[in-house]
Structure 1
Amino acid sequence: MSDELVRFVIGPTPYSSWWLWLAVLLSLVLIGWYAAVFVFTMPGRRLRSLPVLGTARSELVKRRSAHAVRAIVERYRGGELASAPAAAAVSRELRAFLHAATGVRAEYMQIDAIAAGQLAVAAPVLADLIDAQFNADSSVDVASVSDSAEELIRTWS
């Protein structure tokens, strides 16, 4: 090989610094993702104690539950649901909300236990929903009780 061609032989080209910044950015996104998954899958009591996240979570739970109750009532008023299944669905959603909001396992409690505990304000609404669900001769208006359940969810503190 002649000496005049040696000047065209060079070492490997260095990589761009953008790859380094991309790797750093992706690492930070991955760490943020894991942190968000950890925080948002924490049990309710620990998450409620965090100042900003607890408030945001409780508002999100309220909004989601109120929307679900409103959708059930709209299906009931539209004739898609009978009174007993509508009352059961609203009761299930209200109990799930109470569990998410307070940590008390309201899904498995009797009305007397609910009335005696910290969920006492929800007991009359749940009693009316149970009456509408299991009593064929009930005079309970499912739409108005469901509206009361939605109002209870929205005003829960």
Structure 2
Amino acid sequence: MQAADSPPPGFYAPDPYSDRWLWLAVAILAAVAAWYAWVWWTTRSRRVVVPPRIAPDRLTRLRADYARQIDLVVAQADEGAITQRRAHQQVSVLVRHFVQEVSGIHAPTMTLTDLTSSGERLTPVSRVVGVLYPGEFAPRETRTIGGAARVAKEVVARWS
């Protein structure tokens, strides 16, 4: 006869899992969590670092320099040294770099939609870029660089 606390014949208790499977599962979960944390950290939006206010005399020099560069682009386009499309692109780049140099806003990397949705501060820049876009991206070249350059120079003259 069998004892009351002994298992029936042919019955074997299950083998316990090895501890290494538990630690392997924990390591995999930690690696997945670390991956998500790394992706979040590297793709999060950065805070805009606004440089300290620039000195008035430097602002005056920057305004004069960028206005002169815009005039130079227009003169090159009028002479035929560069295409109208290229002139529109260069004026857009000049205005965006001026805004970045004066205020620290990363305007050179912003699309027209980004500029428009960035608030009231960038409204003048979005208007200039909106005027320049047809000349940059239209199927045919347009001779609108003169008017677009005037608007660009107004923004350069008034931006602070």
1:119 aligns with 2:122: yes
Residue segments in structure 2 that go unaligned for 5+ positions in a row: 1-48
Answer yes or no: is the 8 Å Cα contact 1:73–1:146 preserved in 2.
yes
With structure 2 as the length reference, what TM-score do the two structures score?
0.62
Alignment of 1:37-56 (within 5 A): 45-46=51-52, 48=54, 54-56=55-57
| Aligned match of 1:147 | 150
1:81 aligns with 2:75: no
Q: CA deviation digits over 1:72-108, x for unaligned, max 9?
A: 0111112212111101111111110010111100000
| Aligned match of 1:4 | none
How far 1:133 moved relative to its partner? 0.9
Secondary structure at 1:119 match in 2: helix
The RMSD of aligned alpha carbons is 2.0
With structure 1 as the length reference, what TM-score do the two structures score?
0.63
Residue segments in structure 1 that go unaligned for 5+ positions in a row: 1-42, 49-53
Max radius of gyration: which structure?
2
Answer yes or no: is the 8 Å Cα contact 1:76–1:82 preserved in 2.
yes
CA distance in 1, matches of 2:99, 2:132: 15
Amino acid at match of 2:126: A
1:95 aligns with 2:101: no
| Aligned match of 2:28 | none
Amino acid at match of 2:94: E
Answer yes or no: is the 8 Å Cα contact 1:115–1:121 preserved in 2.
no
Percent of aligned positions that are identical:
18
Amino acid at match of 2:70: V
Shift in CA distance, 71/139, structure 1 to aligned 2, threshold 3 Å: closer
1:128 aligns with 2:131: yes
Answer yes or no: is the 8 Å Cα contact 2:50–2:105 preserved in 1.
no
How far 1:150 moved relative to its partner? 1.2
